[in-house]
Structure formats: structure tokens, C-alpha cells
Amino acid sequence: MGQDYYSILGIIRNAKDADIKKAYRRLALKYHPDRSTDPCADEKFLQIAEAYDILSDLRKKATYDKFGEEGLKGGIPPEFGDTGAWTTGYTFHGNANKIFRDFFGGDNPFADFFDTKGEINLGFGGLRGCGVKKQDPPIERELHLSLEDLYHGCLKKIKITRRVMNEDGHTSSIKDKILTIQVKPGWLSGTKITFPNEGDQGPNNIPSDIIFIVKEKPHPWFCRDKNDLIFSASIPLAKALTGYTVEIETLDDRFLSIPINDIVHPKYTKVVAGEGMPLSKDPVQKGNLVIQFDIRFPDKLTPAKKKLINQALNG
């Protein structure tokens, strides 16, 4: 009659993986030789480690459940093996401290778990210290969007490749995942979109958050200043003095004809209210369209033209 590893951990035979881990955590902390006053702590700590090593591994657990300790350690006979050959038996390596370190993480799991007085630290959510998984730093990626995307809003699907843990809780594999971002009208460059815990998974870590940061692509004729759109119109000097109509194609495919009846000087701007970018908090509201002017001066003037300009301006 072999050992009953379920009884060693104090769990039932159909216990789930989470129950196995919970039982090991409780008993390993209770009987750790560095902390326990039980005279049999060394022996119990070793038994607990071996029981966990077997029951936390799906293949070992399945063999143990079917053939018991004798079959697990002696090997499976040919008539039961998948290949028809006698499989090699399991041998516990005997290093209970390694099992403990691998489970809790770190070379000295008690360094943070116990305070300077040797008392267990308790915090909100239960035990804290090395027994609590730490989250990896966030992963930041740029999300390049056109001005049209930020004006109308859009749906972006981004494929990421990450490491995920398999069902056995010990091995991992590489898998793709599609993340969906609903771009809202009016988002500013620098807006952050966070996908919690979508980074690589591991047995002793909390996956990192993935953060996408909006980066605005250059536009052929608009520049953006927060919620305002800046348009630069190139006009000849004569039109700057006598009047001009600016034609602008908007981001929603309309054409604006904006008459300029003022004299356009180098610092002059024309503001068209409500023709800028949508406000992210209220997309119905919009910023302004600000028209700046690049006045084209003639390269040279004939004496006759200079005389006419002189007369016109001084008349």
C-alpha cells in the first residue's frame, strides 16, 4: 500500500488544481523547517513537497490515480503504456526547498513574508510578500492614427502575439490574440488605451498591461492644435490687399468657401467657429478652423508698377 498524497495535502481525490496549490501553500508555510517548531517538520515538509510535485503535474497525477505510488515510481507495464514499452518510473529529487522556491518565487521566500520581528505580515486581500505574484511592467506601443480617424472615430483591430500558460499550469505556448480599439472622435495625440493583463503569462507573475498611445499622423493640409485645425493659405500680395476667397476641403468631404474682405497682413488670421475637431467629451461640439496666410510678394516690380502702387497707397 503506497502513500496517499491526497491525504498528505489534506484534500479529496478529485480536488482541482487551485485546491492543490492552496493546500500546498498552507502546509508548506506551516511546516517549513526555518519557521516550524514541530519536531517532525523536516519530514512533513519533504512529504508535502513530494505530494505537490506529483499532484500538480497532470501526467504524474494521472499515473498515480490509476496505478498508485507503486506504478508511478516503478513504471507502467507494456500493456498499459502508449508505446507498448515499459515506461520509466518517477523519482522525487528530494529537494523540498526547490519546490518551495519555485512556488513562492525568489531565493528567500520568507524575506518579505515575515517582518523584522518574525511575525507574518497581513494586508488587505490576505497574505502578502513573495507568496503574492508581482505584475510585470506595462508594455507601451504607439497607435498611429490619421486625422480623419480622429475626426470621425473608427474601429482598429490589432493582433498581438503573447505567451500563455497551458491548462497544466506549468508549460506555456505562443498564441495570437486580436485586440479591438474603438477610437472615439476627438481623441488627442497622447491618449492612452490600456488592456489589463494582456502581456506574457507565467507561473509566478501577473501579466503586464498593454498600453497603446495615440500618435497623430501628419496631414497634407491641416495641422492640429488641441481641438482647433490650422490651415495655411498661400495668397498673392494683390489679393491680400484687395480681397480673396479661401477654398478648403474639410475632413468630412465638404468644401468651404470663405471670403476674406479684410486686408491680410503677415499676422492676420481668420477664425471659422465650429469647423475644427470634435471634442472627445462631447463630439457634437467642435473646435475652430484657424486660417493663417502665407503672403506671396512679387520678386521684382517695374518702375511703372512701383509708380502705380505708390499712387494707389498714398492717394
* pLDDT tens for each residue of 133-163: 678 889 999 999 999 999 999 999 999 998 8
Residue 236, φ and ψ in degrees, nearest 5: -70, 160
pLDDT at position 114 over 50: no
Number of Cβ within a 10 Å radius of residue 110: 18
Sequence ranges of the chain with CATH classification 1.10.287.110: 5-127
CATH annotation of 5-127: 1.10.287.110
The long-range contacts involving 285-288, CB below 8 angstroms and separated by at least 24 positions, are 286/227, 287/226, 287/227, 287/228, 287/229, 288/227, 288/228, 288/229
pLDDT at res. 79: 52
pLDDT band at 119 (very low <50, low <70, confident <90, very high): very low
Q: What does the pLDDT average to over 55-77?
A: 83
Q: How would you classify the pairing of strands 172-183 and 205-206? A: unpaired
Q: How far apart are the first and last CA of the chain?
A: 121
Number of Cβ within a 10 Å radius of residue 65: 15
Sequence ranges of the chain with CATH classification 2.60.260.20: 134-216, 222-310
Question: Domain 222-310 class?
Answer: mainly beta
Residues 6+ apart with CB under 8 A from 203: 165, 169, 170
Helix (H) or strand (E) holding 241: helix 237-242
Q: ∠ CA 252-261-256 to the nearest 5 degrees?
A: 10
pLDDT at position 120 over 60: no
Distance CA 154, CA 182 (A): 6
pLDDT at position 55 over 90: yes
pLDDT at res. 88: 65
Distance CA 270, CA 263 (A): 11
pLDDT at res. 264: 93
**82 vs 120, residue with greater confidence:** 82
**The overall pTM is greater than 0.85:** no
pLDDT at res. 315: 62
pLDDT at position 130 over 50: no
Q: What does the pLDDT average to over 159-178?
A: 84
pLDDT digits (tens, 9 = 90+) for 178-228: 999 999 999 999 999 999 999 888 877 888 999 999 999 999 999 999 999
pLDDT at position 10 over 90: yes
pLDDT band at 306 (very low <50, low <70, confident <90, very high): confident
Contact, 17 vs 52, CB < 8 A?
A: no
Contact, 287 vs 226, CB < 8 A?
A: yes
Q: What does the pLDDT average to over 103-124?
A: 49
Q: What's the half-sphere exposure (Cβ side, CA atoms, 13 Å) at 10?
A: 10
Residue 135, φ and ψ in degrees, nearest 5: -90, 140
pLDDT digits (tens, 9 = 90+) for 249-281: 999 999 999 999 999 998 999 999 999 999 999
Contact, 52 vs 58, CB < 8 A?
A: no
Distance CA 69, CA 75 (A): 10
Residues 6+ apart with CB under 8 A from 206: 133, 134, 135, 136, 197
**Domain 134-216 falls under CATH 3.40.50.300:** no
Q: What does the pLDDT average to over 88-115?
A: 70
Residues 6+ apart with CB under 8 A from 101: 107, 109
